[in-house]
Amino acid sequence: MVSRLQPPFMKEARSTHANRLLVLGDSHVQTIKWAADNHLLRVPADFVSVGGATAVGMRNPNSLTNALQIFEQAASPCLPGTVPIIHLGEVDCGFVIWWRAMKHGETVDAQIEASIASYFSFVDRLLAAGYSAVIITSATLPTIRDGQDWGEVANLRKELTVSIRDRTALTLTYNRILQSEAQKRNLPFVDISERLIDGKTGVISDEYRHADPLNHHLDPERAAPLWAEALNKHIF
């Protein structure tokens, strides 16, 4: 069952001055990197991505991916003139939240709350370290189709039988909570989800799926300009 948590709509935070961006996240940051490599972002950006990184893992320095330590090493000490961008949540919403709820006999809502709390514990550490702002981005929408077990990531997640519609609905709820938590801290929140969704199916449009059916990332040439447009609105 998809979480019923519904945070209130929040106004967008003010724009952020940045001489450089530091993008930290899971493998889906490659879409934003495509935008940077093709000079679509307003300022230069450095990228640190960890495949399989989860938001919930941001509370665990001994996670399998070691993402927390990798990100903290990249961002510490505070880099003058640099604004971190966080891009996490696809692994949580597409697999881990559901799997942990099933394994531990807990509600999906409880797992969402744990993931969000862990996510923002990392954000708060960045702010405490001296960063004036951190840009929060929406978790990438699920692309793995119902019943798909080909492709490395789909094969790893094949034990999960939750439909793509439910995974999408959870991701949208998760993103609304990210927006709410960002607003509490007066941080920018950047979300392109609604532009990716097919209005007829309620899930990601085939237009934004990767041309390689074994690849669960977004099509960079189509999605990267959307990220660049949205991010540039928050950077000066």
pLDDT tens by residue, 192-214: 999 999 999 999 999 999 989 88
Please, which residues have CB within 8 angstroms of residue 168's CB and are 6 or more apart in sequence?
141, 142, 197, 202, 203, 204
Cβ atoms 113, 168 nearer than 8 A: no
pLDDT of residue 148: 60
Q: Using CB atoms within 10 A of its CB, is residue 19 exposed (0-12), middle (13-18) or buried (19+)?
A: exposed
Report the phi/psi class of residue 66: left, alpha or beta, with left for phi > 0 and alpha for psi in -120 to 50: left
pLDDT tens by residue, 119-164: 999 999 999 999 999 999 999 999 987 666 544 444 455 677 789 9
Domain coordinates of the chain in residue numbers? Answer: 20-229
For the structural domain made of 20-229, what CATH number should be given? Answer: 3.40.50.1110
Q: What is the DSSP string of 117-162?
A: HHHHHHHHHHHHTT-S--EEEPPPPP-PPTT---SHHHHHTTT---
Closest residue by Cα to residue 94 from 140, 29, 134, 51: 140
Whether the pLDDT of residue 226 is over 90: the answer is: yes
